[in-house]
Chain A
Amino acid sequence: MSIAVKEKKQSLQFRGDDLANVKTQLKILNGKEVIQKELPRFQEKLKAIDIFPLKPTQVDIFQMNLGKMCNQVCAHCHVDAGPDRKEIMTKETMQVCLDILAQYDVSTIDMTGGAPEMNPNFRWFVEEASKLGKKFIDRCNLTIILANPKYHDLPHFFKEHNIEVVSSLPHYSSKKTDSQRGDGVFDKSIKALQMLNEVGYGIEGTGLPLNLVYNPSGAFLPGSQETLEKQFKHKLRKDFGIEFNNLYAITNIPISRFLEYLLQSGNYEGYMEKLVDAYNPAAAQNVMCRNTLSISWDGYIYDCDFNQMLDLKVNAKSKHIKDFDFDELSNRDIVLGQHCFGCTAGAGSSCGGEVA
């Protein structure tokens, strides 16, 4: 048995896999099809600590998914992204987001995908959004920088617009990284990190943050973020002369292609039990949906990127950005399910790493 997550060449959707249908995923997650025994329900856990229905604390992060198109087809991808996905955010939708962002006191714009840089209006959007003076994050998969000469200047472009770069690197060993993200991804990621370092990203005193995302290459939970960060810093510096700021340890949420891996490898039940056993009430208090809104490529509003991929739209009348109602959204009941146990295991997990 291999612990490696095997690379897939195409998205679930392209392969016509049953799991591309979110109803199938939700049935597996919330029903008894695969796991016969009774696992505790996530919402019962929240009731026990008096935070059900779960409410936002403050809408502070506007996470925009610029599209499902990606140059990679990572085996654990919760977006089911890949080169065969064509869904991308239009300029009109971006404009509506800009209008909202200009109007409300939201501190952070967080761009994700897919590979957000592949959206043909990415640069236009960055130019416009950077005028708003908010904290601005790009979730960059690194290899995109080398994928095509037209992307080679991305490090300069990021720097010019004061963008914080958050990049995935599942491990400092090429074997572990490639098993999750595809053959050759490690070498390209290292090269891209060096290019980012060259323009100042991750280097002390430049004010250009380069943060890395670690997520396990298999059916296990991430260990202590602090310990992993130390190890990553030591290894990346020693072997490749690479510097970075923080490491975010993120738990794989059991949906989409990671769910496919769990089911195919016979790890689904064990993984769900692990998540449930590691439930931490302190992490539950700080789940990221409490301060985030997630916008899909077609302008719908979700509590987080995971709910977006399960097509669980916000529980509010304003389900689409064209009907955006800040006050209503700030008071909504967050939509929950068994996949939420992925955010509350151990020290918890969010787009910014541990939460407890």
Chain B
Amino acid sequence: MSKTYYNSEDLKKFGNITEFQEEMGKKFFDYYGSVFEEGALTAREKSLIALAVSHAIQCPYCIDAYSSDTMEKGCTEEEMMEAVHVAGAIRGGASLVHGVQMMNKVKDLSM
């Protein structure tokens, strides 16, 4: 085992998950490949969404991969940071909207 839970070198070994379960791993990677192809959304748009989601789920591997991928697709730094703000806004909003629940409870319990 490595001394830290995360090791950037492990990202390159992602494909090796098929070693322990080939069928499911293969299906996942095929699916993954299809998801990121040009479609109704461009591959570029999908990459920016992936970058935003990576930040929402705080996955260091995904942040590494999709920072490079968005750059390769010609995205600007402003576009990339705006995508991260979208993740931030949704995460912040998701907490704050629960404030309504808190307010409901407070109102229920108050005289």
A contact residues vs B (CB 8 Å cutoff):
3, 171, 173, 175-176, 214, 216, 218, 220-224, 227-228, 231-232, 277
Contacts and interface: CB of A to CB of B under 8 A. Distances in A.
B76 A175 contact: yes
A214 B74 contact: yes
Given A171-B76, A218-B71, A232-B74, 19 more contacts: A171-B74, A173-B76, A176-B76, A214-B74, A216-B71, A220-B72, A221-B72, A222-B72, A223-B43, A223-B44, A223-B69, A223-B72, A223-B73, A227-B38, A227-B73, A227-B74, A228-B73, A231-B74, A277-B12
A3 B71 contact: yes
15 contacts: A171-B74, A173-B76, A175-B77, A214-B74, A216-B72, A218-B71, A220-B72, A221-B72, A223-B44, A223-B69, A223-B73, A224-B43, A227-B42, A227-B73, A231-B74
B104 interface: no
B38 to A, nearest CB: 8
B68 interface: yes
Interface in B9-52: 12, 38, 42-44
A217 to B, nearest CB: 9
Nearest to B47: A223
DSSP majority for the A interface? loop
A173 B71 CA distance: 13
Interface in B70-108: 71-74, 76-77
Interface size class of B (residues with CB under 8 A): 10 to 19
- Closest A-B pairs by Cβ, 3 of them: A223-B72, A223-B73, A173-B76
A318 B72 CA distance: 40
Contacts of A222: 72
Nearest to B73: A223
A231 B72 contact: no
Which one of B38, B43, B71 has the greatest number of beta carbons of chain A within 10 Å?
Answer: B71
A303 B77 CA distance: 37
A220 B43 contact: no
Nearest to A226: B38
Contacts of A171: 74, 76
B42 to A, nearest CB: 7
Contacts of A232: 74
A165 to B, nearest CB: 22
Contacts of B72: 216, 220-223
Contacts of B73: 223-224, 227-228
Given A227-B43, A231-B44, A220 B71 contact: yes
A266 to B, nearest CB: 13
A173 B72 CA distance: 14
Contacts of B43: 223-224, 227
A288 B9 CA distance: 33
Nearest to A346: B72
Contacts of A173: 76
Contact of B74 (A3, A175, A223, A277): A223
A227 B44 contact: yes
A253 to B, nearest CB: 17
Contacts of A220: 68, 71-72
Interface-central residue, B44, B71, B72, B74, by most chain A CB under 10 Å: B74
A176 B78 CA distance: 11
Nearest to A173: B76
A277 B68 CA distance: 15
Contacts of B12: 277
Contacts of A277: 12
A228 B75 CA distance: 10
Nearest to A230: B42
A349 to B, nearest CB: 13
A58 B71 CA distance: 36
Nearest to B68: A220
B71 A228 contact: no
